[in-house]
Amino acid sequence: MAARGRSRRTLSFSVDSVGINRGESLPPTLQQPTPVFPVMEQKPLPLTGGEEAEYLLALKQDFRGAMRSLPCFIQPAAALRDVERYSDKYHSSEHTDGLMDWTPDWQRFPRELRIHVKKPARDGVSVTRSDAQLAQKKKKKKVREKEEVLLKLETLQKKEEQQSEEDDDNAEQKKKQEDDDADGEEEYDEEEFEEVILYVTCDGSNQSMWTGSGLTKGSVLQETDYIMSYFDNGEDFGGDSDDNMDEAIY
Amino acid sequence: MTAQEVRLCGLLLREHFGEVVEKVGTQLLRSGAQNLRTIIHETGLSVDLVKKSLMVLVQHGACLFSSGRKGPGSPTEYRSGCDRILRILRYPRYIYTAKTLYGDTGELIIEELLQRGHMTMSGTVKTVADRLTQNMEEGRSMDYSEVSSAFSKLVETHFLQRCPPLAGAGTADSTNPAPGATPATPSTPAAPPTPESFPDCYKVPHMTLVGRGKRQLTAEDGEDQRNAKRQKMDPEAHGDEGIYWQVNFERFHLHFRDQAIISAVANKLDQTSSEIVRTMLRMSEVTTSPAATCTKPLSANEIFRSLPASYNIPRPILDQYLTLLVDDPMEFVGKAGESGGGMYVVNLHRALANLARATLESVVQERFGSRSARIFRLLLRKRHLEQKQVEDFAMIPAKEAKDMLYTLLSQNLVQLQEIPKTPDYAPSRTFYLYTVNQLPTARMLLQNCYKTVANLIERRLFESKESKRLLEKSQRIEAILASLQASGAEPEQLTEVEEMITAPEKQQLDGLRLHINKLDSAENQVDETIFRLESDVNSTATS
């Protein structure tokens, strides 16, 4: 430390043993990082060609292409664009069909990785037990709500009818009538109930019912009456090459 | 898990599984074992996407899960390793090897298993039979029994193995508790059991599967859906539910190692010596463990009897060849005794070390020239040399030798060793010796190889992205052409469609394809170097 500033000519290593002779200067110090693509003194060897290398190349490219179409290739949902569009509702669920092709053996995976299918079951295979229960619960809830609404309407109707009847019926008769009405209500409600159930099951399994009748697949999957090209917003038009602009785009 | 390895693994995951899996995979690789909630938090993806990616990774064996460190009640932890994901680079080589050994059927079986990760035997046989039937002529189809026999052969030679059944793993759902595995105790986390620790690893299950491959017909949409539904509705049980198979990469690596040794002998000596070495390796296939330093000793009599019939060399000539092989400086074959006409072994680890050394020397030669390579070989042989001695032994003038040594030193291929004469390390009284350590240098070059492959992949992705529009257009036109030809169009229509691509675009496309093919083949070739360096590093680490 004491000798630091005194003599600048001595270096930290002995000059002789490393091989620098007198009169030679050290190479200039580096002032910036080395270039990213330095010039190569020797050209690299060419690749080994041959039948085997070509076959391996073809195998590699085929494998890559095949992996893209398998269900294990997970595409994220398309990036949201600046403004929400009505057609997004129908376009966004087109991609997820590929994932349902793969039915994993759930016993080989930890329980926490199970995914619940959100769409109503098309065919009962790819839905696990818990999913089927969820679907049934949802159906029951729907049915119960509808039932409650219908019950309310019925009771209101009955009340109006009862008020319009004679008021000097005694309590028992009233009660009887009420019981009868209640029974009638129940019967009526059961019929309503059945109708409601039919209505709900029609909704839930519409795909399986309507598939054979020749409706196009896209519309049935997305539960609309229009084919999917109805929802093209025309933003893809004109995105093709603008080279050779001899003709105008109308 | 070096930065280069993680980067390369990320690119491989992106190409084969998509960007979502890439994010989850790199998160696992960078931060070690984590539970689901941490992964979701760190990657910022939705819960469903993370769950799906984890399932994909577990399915392909890239990720292992176990119960948490704090005991059986804690959430499951997922961990991933670079090695398994780096194998993806070598998939084409595995498929090609299966083709050379077991024909098209074997090739397709290995390809299916590599694509799907784990599969049951019945599933594989059906899919492969269907694929083979697709490519056969009309009216012929592939029988399931042929595919099953090819599958059994692959299992017998250990190229396929059963996936290890789960032993608990934090859930109550495992139905196949392993007979020989110890369940994880709460206090000590058990290491993941290797597939070989289970006794049934290579046993083919008894399967009832009779039939032929089905050709996929182009049915109308309505019919197709009804048929598809009917197939899904009644899954047939074939008696091998729950038994999943995976490709045994280690066995393929042993095969590659043997090939490398045989071709090295053929290059250095001649064809007959390589046949002798091939015979010795074939005889010791089943008796040698994968991590063995050398094969079991074989007597010259046995070798003589087992030579292939086409090579009927007389006995004394065989002895001469064996002596030549033993005396060769590459030390592929060693002599282990005199009984039985001489006991000979193949020195596996030494052969791998020599192959790696040859790789290092050729790297130096191609990068820096043959004189630098001479200095490098000299240092490898003589271990430690001073500056003056290097100049003398290499017979290179002092100034050039100095320059070359400093270039090699700056690239870290050569190291400087100080030997002090006095305890104060004074520079004028210290010996400075140049030396080359093979193992650290091999590791450094291995990392360079990973970086190289990652750069190649990135460049390829960049090139495809630049010309994405052009590629899409050409794909569309090919699809139109194919559909027109299938429906029988006139030649004028076909030429009209072909002319939709202009001539300069065609040139651009051709150039692009050439670049992409070059980059792909370069990846394959670098992977061969990676294999050689990796096997040497791994064998030295275990020995």
Q: pLDDT per residue over B190-241, tens digit each? A: 455 566 666 667 777 766 666 666 665 543 344 444 444 444 433 455 666 7
> Which of A17, A60, A74 lies nearest to residue B524, judging by beta carbons?
A60
CA distance B443 to chain A (A): 22
Top residue of B16, B24, B453 to mutate, by most chain A CBs within 10 Å, is B16
> Which of A19, A74, A109 lies nearest to residue B53, judging by beta carbons?
A74
What is d(CA B376, CA B445) in angstroms, rounded to the nearest whole number? 15
CA B125, B129, B131 angle in degrees (round to 5)? 120
Query: Among all chains, which residue has been given the structure tokens 């028992």?
Result: A172
Name the residue in chain B with its Cα closest to that of A27.
Answer: B403
Structure tokens of B234?
């009644």
Cβ–Cβ gap B366/A44 under 8 Å: yes
Please compute the mean of the pLDDT values over residues B4-20 and round it to a whole number.
93
Name the residue in chain B with its Cα closest to that of A210.
Answer: B222
- Assess whether pLDDT exceeds 80 at residue B181: no
Q: Is the ipTM of this complex over 0.90?
A: no
Q: Which residues of chain A have pLDDT under 50?
A: 1-3, 5, 7, 97-100, 120-132, 171, 178-215
Q: What is the pLDDT of residues B307-349, one digit of tens each?
A: 888 878 888 899 999 999 999 888 899 998 888 888 999 999 9
Please name the amino acid found at residue A115: I
What's B331's DSSP letter? Answer: -
Cβ–Cβ gap B473/A241 under 8 Å: yes
Q: Which residues of A touch B519 (CB under 8 A)?
A: none
Q: Which residues of B touch A113 (CB under 8 A)?
A: 36, 51, 54-55, 58
Structure tokens of A242?
């603008």
- Assess whether pLDDT exceeds 60 at residue B188: no
Q: Please report the number of interchain residue pairs, chain A to chain B, with beta-carbon separation below 8 angstroms.
A: 158
CA distance A172 to chain B (A): 57
CB neighbours of B29 closer than 8 A, spacing ≥ 6?
A: B1, B5, B6, B9, B10, B80, B81, B82, B85
- SS3 category, A200: helix
What is d(CA B450, CA B1) in angstroms, rounded to the nearest whole number? 12
Please name the amino acid found at residue A104: P
CA distances from A41 to A36, B366, B396, B453, B519 (A): 15, 10, 19, 22, 22
pLDDT value of residue A196? 44
Strands (E), B371-510: 384-385, 415-420, 430-435
Share of chain B above pLDDT 70, in %: 86
What is d(CA B543, CA B539) in angstroms, rounded to the nearest whole number? 6
Cβ–Cβ gap B59/A72 under 8 Å: yes
> Which of A52, A57, A74 lies nearest to residue B21, judging by beta carbons?
A74
pLDDT value of residue B108? 93
> Which of B56, B233, B369 lies nearest to residue A125, judging by beta carbons?
B233
pLDDT value of residue A204? 42
What is d(CA A142, CA A148) in angstroms, rounded to the nearest whole number? 10
What is d(CA B542, CA B249) in angstroms, rounded to the nearest whole number? 18
Cβ–Cβ gap A14/B427 under 8 Å: yes
Q: Which residues of B touch A63 (CB under 8 A)?
A: 91-92, 95, 111, 114-115
Query: In the β-sheet with B244-247, what is the strand arrangement from edge to edge?
Result: B119-120, B244-247, B160-162
Q: What is the pLDDT of residues B484-510, one digit of tens each?
A: 888 877 777 777 777 777 888 889 999
Cβ–Cβ gap B175/A107 under 8 Å: yes
Cβ–Cβ gap A76/B173 under 8 Å: no
B225 vs B147, higher pLDDT: B147
Please name the amino acid found at residue B343: M
Are B160 and B247 in contact, with CB atoms under 8 Å apart? yes
Least confident of A67-81, B82-96, B122-136, B441-455: A67-81
Are B72 and B186 in contact, with CB atoms under 8 Å apart? yes
Q: Which residues of A touch B184 (CB under 8 A)?
A: none
CA distances from A120 to A142, A238, B160 (A): 13, 38, 39
Please name the amino acid found at residue B254: L
Mutual orientation of helices B398-410 and B370-382 as an angle, nearest 10°?
80
Q: How confident is the model at residue B521 (pLDDT cuts 50, 70, 90)?
A: very high
Cβ–Cβ gap B16/A67 under 8 Å: yes
Judged by a CB distance cut-off of 8 A, whether residue A73 touches chain B is yes
Q: Which of B229, B231, B223, B216 has the alpha carbon at shortest distance from A214?
A: B223
Structure tokens of A150?
């219908």
Q: How confident is the model at residue B172 (pLDDT cuts 50, 70, 90)?
A: very low
Q: What is the dihedral of CA A60, A64, A66, A69, to 10 degrees?
A: 180
What is d(CA A208, CA B364) in angstroms, rounded to the nearest whole number? 68
Q: How confident is the model at residue B400 (pLDDT cuts 50, 70, 90)?
A: very high
Burial A43-73 (b: 16+ CB within 10 A, else e): eeeeeeeeeeeeebbebbeebeeebeeebbb
Please compute the mean of the pLDDT values over residues B62-76 and round it to a whole number.
80
With the C-alpha atoms ordered B47, B48, B51, B54, is the resulting torsion angle positive or negative? negative
What's B218's DSSP letter? Answer: -
Find residues 176-215 of chain A whose CB sits inside 8 Å of chain B.
208, 211-212, 214
B68 vs A5, higher pLDDT: B68
Q: What's the predicted TM-score (pTM) here?
A: 0.75
Q: How confident is the model at residue B525 (pLDDT cuts 50, 70, 90)?
A: very high
H or E segment to which residue B189 belongs? none
Least confident of A119-123, B79-83, B329-333, B537-541: A119-123
> Which of B166, B171, B229 lies nearest to residue A123, judging by beta carbons?
B229
pLDDT value of residue A142? 64
| One-character DSSP codes across B466-506 | HTHHHHHHHHHHHHHHHHHHHTT--HHHHHHHHTTS-HHHH
Please compute the mean of the pLDDT values over residues B395-401 and round it to a whole number.
92
